[in-house]
Structure 1
């Protein structure tokens, strides 16, 4: 089973970083932490279900999935940094 997950290992690692970025954005936007936690758990269960039942079908598209997932993580990271930039500039003035 580990060999089946190997093509997705980088995506799993950066997906966890993406979760941290999204959580930071939620805190910055003053979202209710309980609602954010519930929505995060629902998302994790959905992705776990999709991953459990669709892994064999997705194996032939692993390269495309990694690219699209990595691009999404990169865009969300840029978005998070751009949103935090005004606050950081104001902090140093």
Structure 2
């Protein structure tokens, strides 16, 4: 079963990292640490549950999901580079 979950392991890791980033933002805004800790644990548990159940349902589509995700990142990278071209050209004039 663990071999079936390997393609989606990175999603679980980055989902939890995202939760830690949100928690750090809460700390910088002087939120109650105990409430923030409880909400962070709830969010991480929900993410794990959603990821586990979602993985079981989506495992047969892993190749398509990886391709679509990679394509989206590629397109967004092209878009970011295209939007930066005017600024680069202005720099040289």
TM-score by length of 2: 0.55
SS at match of 2:51: helix
Q: CA deviation at 1:10?
A: 1.9
> What corresponds to 1:56 in structure 2?
56
Partner of 1:41: 41
Give 1:28 deviation, angstroms: 0.9
Q: CA RMSD in A?
A: 2.8
Aligned length: 69
Quote how far apart the aligned CAs of 1:20 are: 2.3
* Per-residue Cα deviation, 1:35-92 (whole angstroms, up to 9, x for no partner): 111111211222233234343212244453893xxx7xxxxxxxxxxxxxxxxxxxxx
1:21 equivalent in alignment to 2:14: no
SS in 2 for 1:31: coil
Q: Which runs of 5+ in 1 are unaligned?
A: 72-93
Name the larger-Rg structure.
2
1:15 Cα deviation from its structure 2 partner = 2.3
> Quick check: 2:26–2:36 contact (8 Å CA) kept in 1?
yes
